[in-house]
Structure 1
Amino acid sequence: MRARKTTLAALAVVAGLTLTACQNDGDDAAQTDPSSAASASASGGGSGSSGPGSSGPASGGSDKGGSDSGKDTAAGAGADQSGKTANCRTSGLKITAIDNFIDGDPQGTVAVEMKNTSGQDCVVAGFAGVDLKTDAGTISAERKGAPADPYVLKNGKTIAFGINYPLNETGGSGVRVTGLVVTPPNETKPVILAWPGKPSLPVTDGSGSPVTVGPIGSAGQGG
């Protein structure tokens, strides 16, 4: 009998250990079950989530109430990378030329107007490049006068400069002008315009340019 009781007790111990091992295996399986982890991630909206119902900021975003939202860190309109107003460009200017000669003047005058059509303010200063196309070749205008300080040309506003040339009073055909080429200051792209002044210049001995150009603003500025 004693031997039987000992055997039954041993079986009871083995059964208890087997039951405990099965329970532990079940707990471990629950902890490592991938479907359980995926369910937690979907319901909890993990870190950086920007989905509906999420109260946290989106990944890489700010949690300061959106104070940086939509902030433009680039240079402002009409400004270069340093924040200064950019120079006027040929593409943003409407350039026209008109005859500005007044009877009795010793020289002919053409006024060139530059209207800012770029949609933003720009800076213009110094001298424009001026060339007259003629049947005898190109005549480059000489600069005359002191340039003014840089001028902020507001969008939609106009500024002008003058071109002076000698009148052909010799009675001959002279040098016929066929076109006007204007290059804004600090630019390399020119515009070609019809010449609005007198049709010809007197023939010179070539000792100097008979045509002069004044600084920007020398012919006044309009609205």
Structure 2
Amino acid sequence: MRVHKLAFAAMAVAAGLSLTACQNGDAGNDGTGRNGPSSASSAASSGGGKNSAEKNSAGKSSGGRDTAAGTGSHENGKVSKCRSDELEITAKDNTIDGDPDGTVVVELKNRGNRTCAISGYAGVDLKTNSGSLSAKRTGEQPHQVVLKTGQSTAFGINYPVNKSGGSGVRITELLVTPPNETKTVTLRWPGAATLPVTDTPGSPVKVGPVGNAGQGG
């Protein structure tokens, strides 16, 4: 009897060990053990990482497009020119006592939502009671001016002051067309009311390039 009991006990222990081994193996396979959540978490992390990478990639690409579209300031790698509709144009008298000529300064302010560039001479015409009078360029070398939103530049208009004592030529309006643009802005003339009458051919009114608003002709 003792031999049979020992044999039975040995078989029971072996059966218990076999059952434990099977349970441990099944835990790893069905995802209910400690290794299960870790694997699932890794998969989720991997999937999340992929989604994040896709989002980041898409976000970066979208951000790049938005930046280009938002600034609108580059065409083929160059800063786009300033448009008339983007510029706030104002004029004021800037004549200094003692100067032989009068001076009007025209300011061009970038009120658009992008950086733009402006260079050259603006078209300047004076409306008078004797007809339209176009300003003559001074011949100075123009330089490109880059304007961020809110920044401004200016140019000067020089004209002879009427000291003849006569009525002269009365100026009614100032017409300004930004460089390389066709849209003209009409402003009130802020300078002296009249120009002297002259028989000299050509225009007595001179305009400097954008970026130069100094006195003198």
**TM norm structure 2:** 0.68
1:123 to 117, 124, 128: 117
Counterpart in the other structure of 2:78: 84
Q: 2:75, 2:140 → 1: CA distance? A: 29
Counterpart in the other structure of 2:54: 65
Matched to 2:97, the amino acid is D
* Runs of 4+ with >4 A deviation: none
Contact 2:143/2:211 (8 A) holds in 1: no
Contact 2:109/2:151 (8 A) holds in 1: yes
Equivalences for 1:41-60 in 2 at 5 Å? none
- Could you tell me which runs of 5 or more consecutive residues in structure 1 were left unpaired when the two chains were aligned: 1-54, 56-61
Matched to 1:109, the amino acid is T
Equivalences for 1:203-214 in 2 at 5 Å? 203-214=197-208
- Aligned with 1:193: secondary structure? strand
Contact 1:147/1:216 (8 A) holds in 2: no
- 70-79 or 114-123: bigger deviation: 70-79
Q: 1:91, 1:176 → 2: CA distance? A: 29
Equivalences for 1:5-44 in 2 at 5 Å? none
1:189 to 165, 183, 187: 183
Q: 2:149, 2:85 → 1: CA distance? A: 13
Counterpart in the other structure of 1:46: none
Q: 1:143, 1:64 → 2: CA distance? A: 58
**Equivalent residues, number:** 161
Q: Give 1:80 deviation, angstroms.
A: 3.9
Contact 1:79/1:85 (8 A) holds in 2: yes
1:103 counterpart = 2:97: yes
1:170 counterpart = 2:164: yes
Q: Give 1:206 deviation, angstroms.
A: 4.7
Contact 1:148/1:216 (8 A) holds in 2: yes
Counterpart in the other structure of 1:138: 132
- Aligned with 2:85: secondary structure? helix
Q: 1:94, 1:138 → 2: CA distance? A: 23
- Aligned with 1:123: secondary structure? strand
Q: Give 1:198 deviation, angstroms.
A: 0.2
* Aligned residues with identical type, % of pairs: 54
Output the aligned Cα RMSD: 2.1
